Amino acid sequence: MEAQLVNESIFILRETYAEFKNPAILWSMGKDSTASLNLCREAFLGKIPFPVIHIDTGYKFKEMYEFRDLLVKEWNLDLIVARNNEHTSPDKGKFKCCTQLKTEALLKCLQDYKFDAIIVSIRRDEHGIRAKERVFSPRSTNSKWNYKNQPLEVWDLYQNLSKDKEHTRIHPILHWTELDVWKYIKEGNLPYNPMYLAKEGKRYRSLGCEPCTFPIESDADTIDKIIEELRTTKVSERGGRIQDKEQAFSMQKLRTLGYM
Amino acid sequence: MNVVVTGHVDHGKSTLIGRLLYDSKQITEGRISEVQKLAQEYKKKFEFAYFIDSYRDELKEERTIDTTQVRFKGKERIYTIIDTPGHKEFVKNMLTGASRADAAILVVSVTDGAQEQTKRHLFLLDLLGIRNLIVFVNKMDLVSYDIKKFLDIEVQVSKLIKEYNFESIRYIQGSALEGLNVYKEGVVDALDSLIIREWEKPMRFLVQDTYRNIIVGKVISGTLKEEDILGFQPSGLWGQVSSLLTYKANLKEAGEGTSIGLVMDTYPKRGDVGMLKQDWIKAKEEYDVEFVLIDGKVEVGTPLQLKCGTKIVNCEIKKIKSKVDSETGEILQEVSPKKVKENEAAIAIIGSDPIVVEPFSKIPELGRFTLSKNKKIIGMGVVL
């Protein structure tokens, strides 16, 4: 694990807190956003000074809720659970389901609490569309991502470019890889969801909603073995996530509308 | 090490990166079949560029729109390869990518030679302070690997960069499409042999914020030690570091690039820069810069904001000394110019509220800035 990656992320988080009035962080209880929560603890020297939002689709795994409640207590998190009550279900189409249960729930939460910055733990190596992102990524008043006209973002001169009623997505681990995340978890001895470890030859590599997430074949039952597996794998991380693959460019369409 | 791939549109930047990733077996099987399926669906021939051109629009229009980054393992070390668009209209995306680079690969098609964006990219790479350049003369398969044609391009590019400050330049002939001189030898070996120059810099600490009684920020150059006495500019405060800490531990010292917290007997403000007495400098209100405008136009006296380090100040251009052709880097013969337009570059004097700036060649982090107007970034540049 390169110290430089952590230093850069801490710098980004502190810039966020200084540049925005009302930020918050999204937490899916997965490895990436849990790593980001710990980066916040490092950046703000213990207590995270803003709310932690869980977009609850109602379709998460039981183990994820357990993990959430455990860490809220242990890390003294100010948790907001956001839901879209007019909900659909995955069998009516993944695209619609993701948009309603995740994107729309997030947008409603943004409006209710008037957040002007949302910290999201996406990484460039997860998906080609995410690789195109800026670290400070402005969204329009209706939360759309104008991917065709992203602002100039040079060096580490991050700026709040949002106007009234707009918000900015902040991506503090955009430059990390899946391997970096696991190394960080290992070195910091951080808690993680046990579903990532192999049981009976299968493990979850990426965690989402239960109906749309599938385990991969793996014998990696320790973090060290996960790290070893990632060094040699030929399978992509989100291989077990359906919503990216329903049709070509699903991810681009989802993200244009405000998906993470 | 971060390496940016630049060059004119259609000279093969994305193809080169796709080929590098493919030949080094760093593309997952899922991604290969996904791209093959897409090519079929869109009735296109499979292209290596599709591995990284991920927007639907990029596939349809067969051109890169925005910059992207991929991690790539060379034979000796790991690189972040930054792809950039080669169209004039996407210069801001090229700059976004290239500003993070330690070295650059310039792709030039042997059939086309140096074109408008080849020249502009060279100018911008030089402005961004990149000193290591690999010129990849691509599409050699189209000229039956005629070495004379390669040498012609070498002569042409050498002339273009005569006035620039590149310190290490390598020319490689090859074909991204056929994979010649890309991964097996050629580009990867050239990358693995690059050395990034380091030099001795004075200690500078950038203040980001204060949490309770702890001043947080980043050591951007040199080494900061416990008990050091720091002078802050522009606030003018002085104080001693009684402890130096991260969330995990107390430190005796912190080196370049470290994000830390300080306990002190003074409270500097966000945007202040902490310095040691022996190399302390005063904040400036007037300084020489070279900048590029990416949006709209700016006249002498137009109110703007400038961000350098963590400080944003109100500023204006006091005087435009000369305008620079961003295609050739040549000084334009315009008598006392009063305005700068989109895609133009200029050497100018900026006047602003007090801010710590230093020559980019001395301390890069305090010598680079953005210019903005009404919450829109319209330009970027360096302090001379």
Average of per-residue pLDDT values in chain A: 91
pLDDT of residue A246: 58
Copy the structure tokens of residue B223.
Answer: 């080494």
User: Within an 8 Å CB–CB cutoff, is residue A131 touching chain B?
Assistant: yes
Q: Would the CB atoms of A152 and B55 count as touching at under 8 Å?
A: no
Whether B55 shows a pLDDT value over 80: the answer reads no
Over residues A44-65, mean pLDDT: 92
pLDDT of residue A236: 78
Over residues B39-46, mean pLDDT: 79
For residue A44, the distance in angstroms to the closest alpha carbon of chain B comes to 7
pLDDT of residue B351: 98
In chain B, the residue whose alpha carbon lies closest to the alpha carbon of A255 is B55
Higher pLDDT, A189 or B41: A189
Q: Which residues of B touch A153 (CB under 8 A)?
A: 96, 377
pLDDT of residue A34: 97
* Window B:354-373, CB contacts with A under 8 Å: 365, 368-370, 372
Whether A86 shows a pLDDT value over 80: the answer reads no
Of chain A, the percentage scoring pLDDT greater than 90 comes to 63
User: Within an 8 Å CB–CB cutoff, is residue B170 touching chain A?
Assistant: no
Over residues B108-136, mean pLDDT: 95
pLDDT of residue B185: 87
Query: Residue B88, exposed/middle/buried by CB under 10 A (0-12, 13-18, 19+)?
Result: middle
Preferred mutation among A155, A184, A247 to probe B, highest tally of B CBs within 10 A = A155
C-alpha distance from residue B113 to each of A143, B60, B125, B149 (Å): 43, 26, 18, 10
Q: Would the CB atoms of B368 and A154 count as touching at under 8 Å?
A: yes
Average of per-residue pLDDT values in chain B: 93
* Residue B46: Cβ within 10 Å count: 12
Over residues B44-54, mean pLDDT: 80
pLDDT of residue B279: 96
Whether A244 shows a pLDDT value over 70: the answer reads no
Preferred mutation among A15, A152, A160 to probe B, highest tally of B CBs within 10 A = A152
Taking the whole predicted model, whether its pTM rises above 0.90 is answered as yes
pLDDT of residue A258: 83
Whether B251 shows a pLDDT value over 80: the answer reads yes
Residues 6+ apart with CB under 8 A from A152: B92, B95, B96, B294, B370, B377, B380
Whether B102 shows a pLDDT value over 80: the answer reads yes
Q: Would the CB atoms of B93 and A150 count as touching at under 8 Å?
A: yes
Q: Which residues of B touch A248 (CB under 8 A)?
A: 37-38, 41, 56
Q: Which residues of B touch A128 (CB under 8 A)?
A: 52-54, 68
Q: Which residues of B touch A134 (CB under 8 A)?
A: 96
* Window A:11-50, CB contacts with B under 8 Å: 11, 14-15, 17-18, 41-46, 49
In chain A, the residue whose alpha carbon lies closest to the alpha carbon of B311 is A157
- Of A206-210, B119-123, B233-237, the one with minimum mean pLDDT is A206-210
Where residue A251 falls among pLDDT bands split at 50, 70, 90?
A: confident
Of chain B, the percentage scoring pLDDT greater than 70 comes to 100
Q: Which residues of A touch B80 (CB under 8 A)?
A: 175
In chain A, the residue whose alpha carbon lies closest to the alpha carbon of B80 is A175
Where residue B113 falls among pLDDT bands split at 50, 70, 90?
A: very high
Q: Which of B209, B259, B294 sits opposite A7 (nearest CB)?
A: B259
Higher pLDDT, A222 or B325: A222
Whether A248 shows a pLDDT value over 70: the answer reads no
Q: Would the CB atoms of B258 and A7 count as touching at under 8 Å?
A: yes
Which residues is B104 bridged to in the sheet? B4, B133
Please count the CA atoms within 13 angstroms of the CA of B13 that sit on its side-chain side: 33
Over residues B50-60, mean pLDDT: 79
User: Within an 8 Å CB–CB cutoff, is residue B258 touching chain A?
Assistant: yes
C-alpha distance from residue B134 to each of B21, B68, B125, B153, B191 (Å): 18, 19, 12, 13, 8
d(CA A237, CA A221): 17
Whether B188 shows a pLDDT value over 90: the answer reads yes
- Of A69-73, B85-89, B92-96, the one with minimum mean pLDDT is B85-89
Where residue B99 falls among pLDDT bands split at 50, 70, 90?
A: very high
Whether A198 shows a pLDDT value over 70: the answer reads yes
* Window B:218-237, CB contacts with A under 8 Å: 218
Q: Which of B34, B69, B246 sits opposite A124 (nearest CB)?
A: B69
* Window A:205-234, CB contacts with B under 8 Å: 233-234
> Under a CB-based contact definition with an 8 Å cutoff, are residues B126 and B24 in contact?
no
Residues 6+ apart with CB under 8 A from A99: A254, A257, A259
In chain B, the residue whose alpha carbon lies closest to the alpha carbon of A252 is B55
Q: Which of A14, A131, A236 sits opposite B216 (nearest CB)?
A: A14
Whether A64 shows a pLDDT value over 80: the answer reads yes
d(CA B229, CA B264): 9
* Window B:183-212, CB contacts with A under 8 Å: 208-209, 211
Where residue A212 falls among pLDDT bands split at 50, 70, 90?
A: confident
* Window A:50-89, CB contacts with B under 8 Å: none
pLDDT of residue A243: 67
* Residue A69: Cβ within 10 Å count: 12
Q: Would the CB atoms of A155 and B368 count as touching at under 8 Å?
A: yes
Higher pLDDT, A190 or B29: A190
Q: Which residues of A touch B53 (CB under 8 A)?
A: 128
> Under a CB-based contact definition with an 8 Å cutoff, are residues B109 and B12 in contact?
yes
Q: What are the strands of the beta sheet with B2-7, ordered from one edge?
A: B68-73, B78-83, B2-7, B103-109, B132-138, B168-173
d(CA B114, CA B160): 9
User: Within an 8 Å CB–CB cutoff, is residue B311 touching chain A?
Assistant: no
pLDDT of residue A245: 62
Q: Which residues of A touch B375 (CB under 8 A)?
A: 160-163
Q: What angle (nearest 5°) sits at the alpha carbon of residue B97, between those of residues B126 and A125?
A: 145
Tell me chain B's radius of gyration from C-alpha atoms: 23
* Window B:39-68, CB contacts with A under 8 Å: 41, 52-57, 65-68
Q: Give tens-digit pLDDT for B311-357.
A: 999 999 999 999 988 877 778 888 889 999 998 999 999 999 999 99
SS (H, E, C) chain B: CEEEEEECCCCCHHHHHHHHHHHCCCCCHHHHHHHHHHHHHCCCCCCHHHHCCCCHHHHHHCCCCCCEEEEEECCCCEEEEEECCCCHHHHHHHHHHHCCCCEEEEEEECCCCCCHHHHHHHHHHHHCCCCEEEEEEECHHHHCCCHHHHHHHHHHHHHHCCCCCCCEEEEEECECCCCECCCCCCHHHHHHCCCCCCCCCCCEEEEEEEECCEEEEEEEECCEECCCEEEEECCCCEEEEEEEECCCCEECEECCCCEEEEEECCCCCCCCEEEEHHHCCCCEEEEEEEEEECCCEEECCCCEEEEECCEEEEEEEEEEEEEECCCCCCECCCCCCCEEECCCEEEEEEEEEEECCCCCCCCHHHCEEEEEECCEEEEEEEEC
Q: Give tens-digit pLDDT for A163-172.
A: 888 999 999 9
pLDDT of residue B59: 76
Over residues B195-223, mean pLDDT: 95
Q: Would the CB atoms of A45 and B30 count as touching at under 8 Å?
A: no
pLDDT of residue B147: 97
Q: Which residues of B touch A4 (CB under 8 A)?
A: 257
Cis previous bond, A23, omega within 30: no
Where residue A94 falls among pLDDT bands split at 50, 70, 90?
A: confident
User: Within an 8 Å CB–CB cutoff, is residue B1 touching chain A?
Assistant: no
ipTM for the complex?
Answer: 0.94
Where residue A160 falls among pLDDT bands split at 50, 70, 90?
A: very high
Over residues B306-311, mean pLDDT: 98
Q: Which residues of A touch B96 (CB under 8 A)?
A: 134, 150, 152-154
For residue A9, the distance in angstroms to the closest alpha carbon of chain B comes to 9
Where residue A51 falls among pLDDT bands split at 50, 70, 90?
A: very high
Out of A128-137, B57-66, B189-198, B258-267, give the one with best mean pLDDT.
Answer: B258-267
Copy the structure tokens of residue B8.
Answer: 């004119």
* Window A:160-189, CB contacts with B under 8 Å: 160-163, 175, 177
Over residues B154-183, mean pLDDT: 94
Domains in chain A with CATH codes: 3-176 (3.40.50.620)
User: Within an 8 Å CB–CB cutoff, is residue A247 touching chain B?
Assistant: no
Whether A247 shows a pLDDT value over 80: the answer reads no
Whether B84 shows a pLDDT value over 70: the answer reads yes
